[in-house]
């Protein structure tokens, strides 16, 4: 079956994964490593505790930083008492707006190619306060305990000014259309409201999702040192090249005067970009003339990093008796600060999910004086699929139709909003295979399955996340006479297995063993500007490696010359095999890398190339999908919800490494269980302050909350992506909220439209 799928993928793409390119041999051939469950190449150093994280670099004369956060949402600092802190034991420096160096605001995320600031506010430049929790003072001391103690001695009084911290008040002031990546979050086709009103079957419901805060296991941390005019930064980052450029902008330095490394990261999820703590650490290091380590406290992450914003969504669907949609409406409002760029784009999944005769999609923004909200795993899709996929379930119940059948009747032939053909879309297969494995057919009606106090139900929802590939990919390949291959690229491994999966593909591409491959990443001085975000890093690296490999083959053929069995061959006619190059249609015409380099009297060959522009997304509608199946047990006495089974059936193109991909899927689903059942930032609408900034009061799933999660996939290669793969990082969280809510309905007959589904809502 896999072979047949590969064949059909090739036929669909006679010429390329990319307009104007040539076929990627990895689409057509199965090699030794690609698709195998290889264990993580960085696993051993992590398990042994010798992998250095950002807060673990022991620099000479290191100082430790602690921050003081504002307690009003807007206003001015009236008095700032720092004398006691300055006199406290071990204190090296107290930095406030009175002595901080002059700095530019951070360049705001997505406003230019390498900009990655989470907000664009002045950083400790004057006495103004912009949000409740903003850093107002930084203490440097000889130890962390001394810094924390001295910070507690700082006294700040404020003159508060009128602020908008209440979502209702913000909406009353009027909303503005949301924008995402330069595009309005608005789409219309036909008169959807009229079609809805005329439809024989309809649902029209309102759903809400709360604020969520970032809680990567590794706290945001940075260790910085000024070396002359160069700034050396050990960061926990999902975007080292962006960091170097953006920090350079803040301090008036060229990007090559800022060297950012981030070899190990304990989770990112969209939160590990540039925030004020890295800037403040660098400023304090400059002022003190000593290196600085700043690791945010857990509270500090809540105060200055922010997270996913609150949404209120309406989904209305009008359908004919056969289930076909006449109208699909998905609109609503999100909260956002004036100083960031992410209006939680909850309509993104709805753009391409279903065919409908008419459609209306719209995200409106209400502005609050609050910590900047930001990207958080599948921004848009994670909460948008909760509303959309809950509404589909509600319609299926209203029409007494199987919810999978209802979805299949609305599978689009081409992209519903752009008309573009899908690059690859195996939604039906994901559902069919998932339903068989899960035992969907055994499903009952609400309230019909009960074991003692426990009501049992099942639910399903579609998961979806787009394929992206951002520009800026570049890679350098160094090949030695001994056949060792080093690939350098400013990319990231935050725990998802980047280095492992890419080493597999590189080994296959060059025809060497994995032991002969070194993948170097997490260093801004390496080629490329590749963000580990948008689930696009694998494709971005893959495209850069394909380009660099082509340059390598060209160079090797030149070096091979007329005495080689490869003489006269064109780069398109050869590929890597058995430690050398071979003719694709006649592998006996082969010469080893060692032989080519020896004859040319070379020890190494070094090539560097940039990835082609990501034109594939202009030609095709490119999305991954999944079918999420959930079984819950709801206690009829206490309202407690326990997820007892979960299956994710995914269609994400070729799976490069089933072991690391399965972990990505499971991790996303676990985060989705948190979104469904417990995660909620308690935000005080009166003061704009986050009231539960700790893992004791902000609940995420623990092992006891997570059942065995089964994952499976179609493994149908996408003919229009560099390696046949689409991303696997974010799709896992999508659809989970609705799958759980739909299962809760099937168990209890109660429809919960407001996340999280806590027990009080079920009693």
Provide the binding-site residues for ligand MOS, judged by CB under 6 A: 238, 268-270, 375-377, 379, 533-534, 730
* Angle (deg, nearest 10), helices 736-748 and 658-677: 50
The least CB distance from residue 374 to ligand MOS, in Å, is 8
The least CB distance from residue 375 to ligand MOS, in Å, is 4
Nearest by Cα to 381 from 626, 215, 618, 679: 626
* Bridge partners for 360 per DSSP: 188, 329
Torsion on CA atoms 135, 683, 734, 461, rounded to nearest 10: 180
Nearest by Cα to 274 from 303, 241, 302: 241
| Cβ neighbours around 110 below 10 Å, total | 15
- Decide: 662 and 715 in contact? Cβ < 8 Å: no
Identity of the residue, 377 or 753, whose beta carbon is nearer to ligand MOS in the bound complex? 377
The least CB distance from residue 265 to ligand MOS, in Å, is 11
Peptide bond into 707 cis (omega under 30): no
Identity of the residue, 286 or 377, whose beta carbon is nearer to ligand MOS in the bound complex? 377
Farthest CA pair distance, the chain: 83
Distance CA 459, CA 436 (A): 14
- Decide: 519 and 501 in contact? Cβ < 8 Å: no
Identity of the residue, 631 or 730, whose beta carbon is nearer to ligand MOS in the bound complex? 730
Q: Select which of 312, 591, 631, 730 is catalytic.
A: 730
Distance CA 120, CA 701 (A): 33
DSSP three-state, residue 516: helix
Please give the sequence-ordered ranges of beta strands (E in DSSP) within 569-705, or none if there are none.
Answer: 574-577, 580-583, 586-592, 604-610, 623-635, 641-651, 683-684, 689-690
Q: Is 344 a catalytic residue?
A: no
Alpha-carbon separation of residue 354 from 72, 348, 417, 420, 444 (angstroms): 45, 12, 10, 14, 26
Identity of the residue, 329 or 731, whose beta carbon is nearer to ligand MOS in the bound complex? 731
Question: Taking the mean position of all CA atoms in its chain, how far away is CA 382?
Answer: 11
| Cβ neighbours around 157 below 10 Å, total | 12
Distance CA 342, CA 329 (A): 22
Identity of the residue, 631 or 679, whose beta carbon is nearer to ligand MOS in the bound complex? 679
| Cβ neighbours around 613 below 10 Å, total | 14
Quote the DSSP letter at residue 422. B
Identity of the residue, 267 or 291, whose beta carbon is nearer to ligand MOS in the bound complex? 267
Residues 6 or more apart whose CB falls under 8 angstroms from that of 712 comprise 433, 434, 437, 647, 648, 649, 650
Give me the phi and psi of 293, to 5 degrees please. Answer: -110, 125
Question: Taking the mean position of all CA atoms in its chain, how far away is CA 229?
Answer: 33
The least CB distance from residue 238 to ligand MOS, in Å, is 6
Sign of dihedral through CA atoms 315, 316, 322, 324? negative
- Decide: 710 and 418 in contact? Cβ < 8 Å: no
- Decide: 388 and 360 in contact? Cβ < 8 Å: no
* Bridge partners for 365 per DSSP: 176, 334
Instruction: Name the residues annotated as catalytic.
Output: 730
């Amino acid at each position: 079956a896999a072979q047949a799928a590969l064949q059909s993928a090739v036929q669909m793409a006679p010429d390329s994964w990319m307009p104007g390119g040539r076929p990627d041999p990895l689409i057509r051939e199965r090699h030794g490593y690609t698709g195998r469950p290889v264990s993580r190449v960085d696993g051993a150093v992590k398990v042994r505790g010798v992998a250095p994280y950002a807060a673990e670099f022991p620099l000479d004369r290191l100082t430790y930083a602690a921050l003081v956060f504002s307690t009003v949402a807007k206003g001015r600092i009236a008095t700032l008492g720092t004398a006691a802190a300055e006199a406290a034991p071990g204190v090296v420096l107290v930095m406030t707006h009175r002595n901080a160096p002059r700095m530019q605001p951070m360049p705001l995320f997505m406003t230019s190619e390498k900009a990655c600031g989470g907000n664009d506010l002045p950083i400790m430049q004057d006495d103004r306060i912009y949000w409740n929790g903003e850093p107002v003072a930084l203490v440097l001391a000889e130890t962390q305990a001394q810094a924390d103690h001295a910070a507690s001695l700082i006294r700040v009084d404020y003159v508060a000014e009128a602020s908008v911290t209440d979502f209702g008040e913000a909406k009353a002031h009027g909303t503005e259309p949301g924008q995402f990546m330069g595009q309005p979050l608005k789409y219309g086709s036909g008169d959807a409201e009229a079609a809805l009103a005329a439809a024989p079957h309809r649902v029209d419901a309102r759903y809400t999702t709360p604020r969520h805060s970032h809680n990567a296991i590794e706290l945001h941390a940075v260790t910085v040192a000024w070396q002359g005019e160069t700034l050396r930064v050990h960061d926990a980052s999902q975007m080292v090249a962006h960091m170097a450029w953006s920090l350079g902008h803040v301090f008036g330095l060229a990007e090559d005067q800022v060297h950012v490394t981030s070899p190990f990261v304990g989770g990112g999820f969209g939160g590990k970009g540039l925030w004020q703590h890295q800037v403040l650490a660098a400023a304090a290091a400059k002022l003190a003339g000593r290196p600085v380590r700043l690791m945010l406290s857990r509270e500090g992450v809540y105060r200055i990093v922010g997270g996913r914003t609150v949404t209120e969504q309406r989904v209305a669907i009008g359908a004919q008796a056969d289930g076909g949609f006449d109208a699909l409406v998905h609109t609503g409002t999100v909260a956002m600060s004036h100083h960031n760029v992410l209006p939680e784009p909850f309509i993104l999944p709805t753009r391409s999910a279903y065919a409908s005769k008419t459609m209306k999609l719209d995200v409106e923004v209400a502005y609050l004086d609050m910590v900047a909200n930001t990207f958080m795993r599948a921004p848009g899709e994670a909460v948008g699929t909760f509303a959309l996929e809950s509404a589909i379930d509600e319609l299926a119940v209203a029409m007494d139709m199987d919810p999978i059948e209802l979805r299949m009747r609305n599978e689009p032939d081409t992209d519903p909003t752009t008309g573009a053909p899908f690059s690859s879309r195996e939604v039906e297969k994901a559902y069919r295979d998932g339903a068989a494995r899960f035992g969907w057919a055994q499903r009952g009606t609400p309230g019909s399955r009960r074991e003692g106090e426990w009501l049992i139900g099942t639910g399903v929802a579609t998961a979806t996340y787009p394929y992206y590939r951002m520009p800026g990919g570049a890679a350098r390949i160094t090949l030695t006479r001994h056949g060792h291959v080093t690939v350098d690229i400013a990319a990231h491994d935050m725990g998802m297995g980047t280095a492992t999966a890419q080493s597999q593909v590189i080994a296959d591409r060059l025809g060497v063993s994995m032991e002969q491959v070194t993948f170097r990443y997490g260093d801004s001085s390496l080629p490329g500007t590749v963000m580990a975000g948008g689930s696009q890093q694998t494709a971005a690296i893959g495209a850069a490696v394909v380009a660099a490999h082509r340059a390598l083959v060209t160079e090797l053929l030149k070096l091979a010359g007329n005495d080689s069995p490869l003489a006269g061959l064109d780069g398109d006619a050869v590929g890597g095999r058995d430690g050398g190059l071979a003719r694709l249609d006649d592998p006996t015409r082969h010469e080893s890398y060692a032989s080519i380099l020896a004859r040319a009297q070379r020890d190494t060959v070094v090539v560097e190339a940039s990835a082609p522009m990501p034109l594939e997304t202009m030609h095709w509608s490119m999305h991954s999908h999944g079918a999420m199946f959930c079984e819950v047990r709801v206690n009829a006495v206490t309202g407690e919800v326990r997820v007892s089974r979960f299956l994710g059936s995914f269609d994400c193109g070729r799976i490069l490494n089933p072991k690391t991909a399965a972990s990505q899927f499971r991790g996303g689903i676990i985060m989705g269980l948190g979104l469904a059942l417990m995660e909620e930032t308690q935000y005080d609408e009166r003061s704009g302050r986050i009231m539960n900034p700790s893992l004791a009061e902000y609940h995420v799933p623990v092992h006891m909350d997570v059942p065995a999660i089964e994952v499976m996939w179609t493994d149908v290669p996408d003919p229009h992506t560099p390696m046949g793969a689409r991303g696997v990082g974010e799709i896992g969280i999508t659809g989970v909220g609705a799958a759980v809510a739909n299962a809760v309905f099937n168990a209890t007959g109660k429809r919960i439209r407001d996340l999280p589904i806590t027990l009080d809502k079920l009693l």
